[in-house]
Amino acid sequence: MAAVDVSPGAAFGSAFGLGGRAAQLRTRLAGRLKLGLHVTLTRYGLCRDLAEPLQTPKAKIPIVVRRLEERDLAPLFTLAPDKASLEEQLEVAWRRAFIEKGAQRGYVAIDARNGTPCYVQWLFGAVDNEFDEHVGGFPVLERHQALLENAYTPPAYRGLGIMSEAMALIAGHAAWISAREVLTFVDQYNVASLKGCQRAGFYPRLLHHRTRFAFGTITHDSFEDLPAGDPRRTARF
Ligand SMILES: CC(C)(COP(=O)(O)OP(=O)(O)OC[C@H]1O[C@@H](n2cnc3c(N)ncnc32)[C@H](O)[C@@H]1OP(=O)(O)O)[C@@H](O)C(=O)NCCC(=O)NCCS
């Protein structure tokens, strides 16, 4: 089965049909309205040095990691109708849009007991800088750097330590694109994700400040290195 390095739009066109696409547009519109006239956010940029030894954390269920395939999309991104919060719908809509924009090199964790996809995340290298610039909100990667983005565990699989193990394993694949260090960005208030990253060997290295105006139509991003000795570099989440 082919990995989902698909042309934009192809995957969800077939996996969700027109009804799914219309629902996604409605959700994204609601997300834009929620942004309002002016909003600021701060994300930690966390880094893992692949040369540093790491004991891979173990999830509470057996998982295996492989490349994302088209057949994974429906089980990963189908929410129970009328039960999911707007925040959850936005998480899914954002990832669907991310694939439609042409995101490459997605990875999934699979529940080894029954073959269900239970985690997804994308790995980028310097070769993907043009795509990252198009999506916005990421620094330009140097050749020795990789970026892990858009981690998502479907609600039914949360709290089982899947993120920590899967992310540690997927980060290891960055060596295949010649990276020595891996970055990832997490909102300062997303404790579950910050904890998952830290257990996967990532530590705060920089801050990403984002300001959005006029319902997210105008965006300004800036990146700030955390100075050596800054207590946030060694914070435990
Ligand atoms: C963030 C997310 C990927 C975590 O997935 P997960 O597989 O449930 O993560 P884990 O089970 O490895 O849990 C990570 C840590 O967060 C903790 N945690 C889980 N939910 C939590 C919550 N609501 N509040 C605080 N801590 C929480 C877990 O106990 C665990 O901590 P520990 O290592 O000290 O035990 C998942 O919640 C998700 O998909 N959220 C929506 C999308 C999102 O925020 N993605 C991250 C983008 S950067």
pLDDT tens digits for range 91-131: 999 999 999 999 999 999 999 999 999 999 999 999 999 99
Residues 173, 67: Cα–Cα separation, whole Å: 10
Pick the range with the lowest mean pLDDT from 38-42, 68-72, 144-148, 163-167. Answer: 38-42
What's the whole-number average pLDDT of the chain?
90
Q: H or E segment at 226?
A: none
Q: Which residue's alpha carbon is at the smallest distance from atom 25 of ligand 1?
A: 192
Domain boundaries, the chain: 4-234
Residue 225 and residue 79: Cα distance in Å, rounded? 37
- Distance between CA atoms of residues 221 and 119, nearest Å: 28
Tell me the best of 76, 163, 184, 186 to mutate to test the pocket of ligand 1, counting ligand atoms within 8 Å of each CB and taking the most: 163
For residue range 3-22, list pLDDT tens digits in order: 555 443 444 445 555 567 77
Six token digits for residue 8 = 């934009």
pLDDT of residue 13: 42
Question: Within the chain, how many helices (H) and strands (E) appear?
Answer: 6, 8
Which residues contact ligand 1 via a Cβ below 6 A?
91, 151-153, 158-164, 186, 190-193, 195-196, 199
* CATH code assigned to 4-234: 3.40.630.30
Mutate-to-test residue for ligand 1 from 91, 158, 182, 185, highest number of ligand atoms within 8 A of CB: 158
Extract the runs of DSSP E, i.e. beta strands, from the chain: 38-49, 63-67, 106-111, 116-125, 145-152, 181-187, 203-213, 218-225
Residue 50: what pLDDT? 97
Per-residue model confidence (pLDDT) at position 233 = 94
CA–CA distance, 79 with 93 (Å, rounded to integer): 11
Report which of 167, 134, 175, 162 is spatially closest to residue 149, judged by C-alpha positions: 167
Mean pLDDT over 47-53 rounds to 96
CB contact at 8 A, 204 and 45: yes
Pocket test for ligand 1, best of 195, 202, 208, 210 (most atoms within 8 A of CB): 195
**CA torsion, points 46, 51, 56, 62, in degrees to nearest 10?**
100
pTM of this structure: 0.89
SS3 sequence of 152-177: ECCHHHCCCCHHHHHHHHHHHHHHHH
| pLDDT (0 to 100) of residue 14 | 52
pLDDT at 144: 96
Nearest-angstrom CA–CA distance, 111 and 75: 12
How far away, in angstroms, is 196 Cα from ligand 1 center? 6
Ligand 1 centre distance from Cα of residue 158 (Å):
7
Q: How far is the CA of 91 from the centre of ligand 1 (A)?
A: 14
Residue closest via CA to ligand 1's atom 43 equals 152
Find the mean pLDDT for residues 181-192: 97
Give the dihedral sign, CA 194/196/199/203.
negative
User: Which pair of structure tokens corresponds to residue 101?
Assistant: 């924009």
Q: What is the pLDDT of residue 17?
A: 58
